[in-house]
Amino acid sequence: MTVITITKTELSDGLAALRKGYKLFGPVAEKSSYTFRELEKDRDPDFSYQNTRLSPKGIVFPQSEDMFTYTLDSTREDAHFLKEAPKDYSPRVIFGIRPCDAKAVSLTRMNFDTRAYRDPYWMGLFEATTFVGMACDTPCQTCFCTTAGCGPYHEEGLDVLISDRGDHYLAKPLSEKGRQLLAVAGWLKPAEADFDKNKAAAEAKIGSSVATDRLASADTLALYGADFWEDISFACINCGTCTFVCPTCWCFDIQDEVHGKTGKRARNWDSCMFPIFTIHTTGHNPRGTKLHRVRQRFMHKLKYFVGKYEAGIMCVGCGRCIRACPVNIDIRNVCGLMNSRAAENVCAEGK
Ligand code: SF4
Ligand code: SF4
């Protein structure tokens, strides 16, 4: 595939051209961190970020999204009828998404785009979006992507991958959507360059890792009943931060909100770490303690997902939950405990 070279000036000019056909989202500095925002005119993405505090998953899966509107005014003919909320599925580009976050979109697609059901809202935004990745040459200390089925130059889920070469960029088109975007931006100059030249060095900077090799074959009930959940969950305050920052978490709740006689039905991000996440109308809560909830989060990501989809763990190693957890619960340690316990089970069975 032809690699394209883009000077820094050409980048700004191309972004201006893209704005005519796309909504442009990119990383910007905000308070003490970085976040993805729609970039207003004349504002370019800020590539000095390592990674953003929240992933850009909200561009495809908004934190709060209206599904229907209705009126309770019985003098109106349309009283109590649900009407589709207005939607905007015009073309958009996420410019500068990290490869881990793009792979996370591919993992969440397994939930929203199935043979039995295609979520129209998620699919509408996903299909409208072109994903332009920025390779990650300065990973965070908590990144472990290379052992989570990903990496700083990973291409899965991307339409274009860009590598910063100091005084210029190299762009590698990875799909037809990506080639179209490069054409609209006017970035068409072929480069005689090795795109992956910095890949091995970037991978070598990933300082931490997880062992996952025994998770698939581990006995589910043995892991579920393991004695380490008490220790792991002890400090958790069920704040839900780990799930909100996670690019692969997809849970939502549907709520009706009524103001006067006007109502709307919206879906909002939810978290398996919240005590009311699974509460029944009877008052019974099958995950009534924090041990249940913490175990559910890790069993889902590191065991149930692995068995159901055969696509590795439901984690891309971005390290956000490690950095954000107020009580230092670390998925690398939990994964290690689960993987070693699986190894112990195999040894015990072999005796
Ligand atoms: S961020 Fe930490 S304390 Fe908060 S719910 Fe997650 S594991 Fe528990
Ligand atoms: S579980 Fe943690 S490290 Fe893994 S993708 Fe989610 S936020 Fe990143």
CA of 333 to the centre of ligand 2 (A): 13
Q: Is 149 in the pocket of ligand 2 (CB under 6 A)?
A: no
| pTM score of the predicted model | 0.94
Q: What is the reported pLDDT for 351?
A: 41
Half-sphere exposure of 197 (CA within 13 A, CB side): 11
Ligand 1 centroid to residue 274 C-alpha, Å: 10
- Cα(8) to centroid(ligand 2), Å: 32
- What DSSP line would sit under 40-71, residue for residue? -TT----TT-S--SS-GGGGTS-SEEEEEEEE
Query: Which two structure tokens, joined as six digits, stand for 106?
Result: 């591919």
The strand pair at 33-38 and 23-30 is best described as antiparallel
Determine if ligand 2 sits within 6 Å of the CB of residue 316: yes
Residue pLDDT tens, the chain, 351 long:
699 999 999 999 999 999 999 999 999 999 889 999 999 888 899 999 999 999 999 999 999 999 999 999 999 999 999 999 999 999 999 999 999 999 999 999 999 999 999 999 999 999 999 999 999 999 999 999 999 999 999 999 999 999 999 999 999 999 999 999 999 999 999 999 999 999 999 999 999 999 999 999 999 999 999 999 999 999 999 999 999 999 999 999 999 999 999 999 999 999 999 999 999 999 999 999 999 999 999 999 999 999 999 999 999 999 999 999 999 999 999 999 999 987 676 555 544
**Pocket of ligand 2 contains residue 320 by CB under 6 Å:** yes
**What is the 286 CA–ligand 2 centroid distance (Å)?**
25
| CA atoms of 105 and 103, how far apart (whole Å) | 5
Alpha-carbon distance of 33 to 121, in angstroms, equals 29
What integer pLDDT is reported at residue 108 of this predicted model?
97
Give, for ligand 1, the residue of 242, 251, 315 to mutate: max count of ligand atoms closer than 8 Å to Cβ.
242
CB of 206 shorter than 6 A to ligand 2 = no
Check: CB of residue 274 under 8 Å from CB of residue 253: no
Do residues 43 and 221 make contact, with C-beta atoms less than 8 angstroms apart? Answer: no
Residue 173 forms beta bridges with which residues? 160
Which ligand is nearest to the Cα of residue 150, counting in written order?
2
Q: Interior CA angle at 310 toward 304 and 312, to 5°?
A: 80
pLDDT given for residue 41 in this prediction:
86
pLDDT given for residue 348 in this prediction: 52
CA of 86 to the centre of ligand 2 (A): 32
Q: For residue 243, which atom of ligand 1 is closest to its CA?
A: 6
Return the ∠ at Cα 232 (arms to 227 and 235), rounded to 5°: 135
> Ligand 2 centroid to 178 CA: how many Å?
27
CA distance 68 to 267: 10
